[in-house]
Amino acid sequence: MCFKKNLLLAIITFVFILQANPSFALSKVETIPECIQTGNCFSTNIKTKDVEASFNKLLSNMSLLPRSKLLESTKEYYHWTVKSFVFRFTDDIEAFLLSSENIIQLKSASRIGIYDFGINKQRVKKLSQDLFN
How far is Cα 13 from Cα 52, in angstroms, rounded to an integer? 42
Digit-coded pLDDT (tens) for 21-44: 444 444 555 788 888 888 899 999
Digit-coded pLDDT (tens) for 49-82: 999 999 999 999 999 999 999 999 999 999 999 9
Report helix angle 119-130 to 51-63, nearest 10. Answer: 130
Digit-coded pLDDT (tens) for 99-117: 999 999 999 999 998 888 8
Cα angle: 112, vertex 123, 19; to 5 degrees? 30
Q: What is the residue extent of each domain of the chain?
A: 26-130
CA distances from 31 to 14, 77, 90, 98 (A): 31, 9, 22, 8
pLDDT at 21: 46
Digit-coded pLDDT (tens) for 115-133: 888 999 999 999 999 998 8
Q: Which of 105, 122, 123, 92 is nearest to 54 (CA)?
A: 105
What are the helix (H) ranges across 32-118?
Answer: 51-63
φ, ψ of residue 102 to 5 degrees: the values are 55, 45
* Strand, helix or coil for residue 75: coil
**Contact assessment for residue 77 and residue 26, using Cβ atoms and an 8 Å cutoff:** yes
Provide the CATH number for the domain formed by 26-130 in this structure.
Answer: 3.30.310.50
